[in-house]
Amino acid sequence: MKETIILGIDPGTTIMGFGLIKVVGKEMHFIQLNELDLKKYNDHYLKLKLIFERTIELIDTHKPDEIAIEAPFFGKNVQSMLKLGRAQGVAMAAGLSREIPITEYLPKKIKMAITGNGNASKEQVAKMLQSLLGLKTLPKNLDATDGLAAAVCHFYNSGKVTVGKSYSGWDAFVKQNQDRVKK
């Protein structure tokens, strides 16, 4: 039976949450959830380097077949949006450098997939994941469960036609983003 490992990432420059699930047939199995705590670092570029390195380490250790990543939602603060976009970008670059297909999901889509409510709280998402995957305890910070939620959302959406933006590698990324690429 085919086995698929999905790495879910909730990018952030303060905390990057991530979770891994294994899919065997139509069943989901919990592998890991954790977070990369970046609060103690002041240098934004160092944070980006650490996000990249941790993502590569996760990829090399667990060999995921696919990556699901939470897309930054539009906020009022342009600076924090930019930082979040960069964090997401380096996590994506890590996956692309290892030729792993990446799919982005909006936070509302992830919440909807997990709880049936696009406006669910982090706590509601975490509790539902705990129930779905039989987790004994939940982490103190719920960024890790947000990363896991992205992976579970991707599992629920696999096989469906529209799942957001997917990239199978640099070439696909460039082709799908012609308007952003300088010639």
Q: Active-site residue numbers?
A: 10, 70, 143
Spatial separation of the C-alpha atoms in residues 139 and 113, rounded to whole Å: 21
Residue linked to tokens 């670092």:
41
Is 143 annotated for ligand binding? yes
Is 43 annotated for ligand binding? no
Helix/strand/coil (H, E, C) string of the chain?
Answer: CCEEEEEEEECCCCEEEEEEEEEECCEEEEEEEEEEECCCCCCHHHHHHHHHHHHHHHHHHHCCCEEEEECCCCCCCHHHHHHHHHHHHHHHHHHHHCCCCEEEECHHHHHHHHHCCCCCCHHHHHHHHHHHHCCCCCCCCCHHHHHHHHHHHHHHHCCCCCCCCEECCHHHHHHHCHHHCCC
Is 37 annotated for ligand binding? no
Residues belonging to the binding site are 10, 70, 143
Residues belonging to the binding site for Mg(2+) are 10, 70, 143
